[in-house]
Amino acid sequence: MLDIQLIRKEPGRVEKALASRGAEPKALEEILKLDEKWRKLRGEADALNAKRNELSRKTGELRKKIEKEKGKEPLYPVGMHEMADRIKAANTEADKLKVKIDSLLLTLPNLPHESVPVGKNAEENKVVRKWGEPRKPAFKAKEHWEIGEELGIIDFERGARMSGHRFAVLRGDGAKLERALINFMADFAVKRGYLEHITPHLVTAATMTGTGQLPKFEEELYRCERDGLYLIPTAEVTLANMHAGEQLKEEQLPLNYCGYTPCYRREAGAYGKDIKGIMRQHQFDKIELVKFARPEDSYVELEKLVKDAAAVLEALGLPYQVVELCTADLGFASAKTYDIEVWLAGQGKYREISSCSNCEDFQARRMNCRFWRKNKLEFPHTLNGSGLAVGRTMIAIIENCQQADGSVEIPAALVPYFGKKKIG
């Protein structure tokens, strides 16, 4: 959520920043109009309160003086009841306006950090570095879905039969590889200083609102109507909400959390994209990394986050590139994002496997998470990134490590978890 004080003081700057993301300014205009009315009502209520308090004080002094004289009736303030009614009416109207303002604020995306390149679409994202040489086998490389079916480790037909489009069954070594990657990534994150968590997969609307999934992405979420709960699209939701409504201490920061969860996404806007394979599923596994940091440290922590996520790929020997997103391609809650894209030999191109973002105080405001510093409460900055998306890492291993005989070699770092050196 954006700071209403910033909107009041620098509406032009906010409008320009939102425009750079392609966001409509209508909500901003409405917020400014409602806020002006709200401040006027609050001013009237405060003035009436001050007048009532002064009148009560003077009346109290007179009452004491008069009541000393026998036979005199007690003196009560004239018009106090009417004044109280006017104060109540002003406060009631102000509260209604505040609800409207807050609901509109929830629809506004975060403002891009000043270092984010301005751009109109993903084509204007900037590659900032590469690691490893893209693998180009001497034979005709196959895509993961072909290899998976030939080895009998991915069953698309039965997945679709049970659950519909964008579901698959991992069998035998496919299931084992998924499990090995989960354990490898979780241990990897813990060794790099992240505290591991197992969190709920079902959360309330308030929890989804805290990280920005609601109200913006209602159509992307799976909801359990009967219980009013949502299936999480990422462990970012639960890990970031660990301190919702809490007050931390400055010395606790930074906090580094990690967690494995299945993730559930309707992919409502992805019709026709990645139809084949397991690149874009409704249910997938992911290790998530989340940080809580002091505002002045958050961009240093972002660079660390990217390195931590990329280090998983380096350990597995998978080539990748880091891409800085332009303003128009930023996620709703993000102020700055780096995507990590892994090379896929079968597809012959880089594909996103992790997105590392600094949300600054955007989520903390929505969650009302604060920290004490010098007897003052401040909002921490929250950061998140995949470390990594497990299914896409499996795709990268299958495609990059495929052999001419149809088998797949397992990266050396993963062999202790998987138990053997190849599939097939």
DSSP conformational letter for 195: E
Q: What is the pLDDT of residue 67?
A: 58
Burial (Cβ within 10 Å: 0-12, 13-18, ≥19) of residue 257: buried
Predicted local distance difference test score (pLDDT) of residue 58: 65
Taken in order 314, 288, 232, 208, the sign of the CA dihedral is: negative
Query: Quick one: pLDDT at residue 64?
Result: 59
**Residues of the chain below pLDDT 70:** 58-80, 270
pLDDT, one tens digit per residue, over 108-157 is 999 999 999 999 999 999 999 999 999 999 999 999 999 999 999 999 99
pLDDT at 146: 97
For residue 415, with 0-12 CB atoms within 10 Å meaning exposed, 13-18 middle and 19 or more buried, which class applies? middle
Show the tokens assigned to 170: 């991992």
pLDDT at 26: 87
Give the pLDDT score at 82: 78
So which residues are the catalytic ones? 265, 280, 352, 355, 392
User: In angstroms, rounded to a whole number, what is the distance separating the alpha carbons of residues 363 and 186?
Assistant: 25
Q: In what order do the strands lie in the sheet with 370-373?
A: 247-249, 370-373, 376-378
Q: Which residues of 106-134 are buried (b: 16+ CB within 10 A; e: fewer)?
A: bbbbbbbbeebeebeeeeebeeeeeeeee
Closest by alpha carbon to 29, among 42, 44, 41, 18? 18
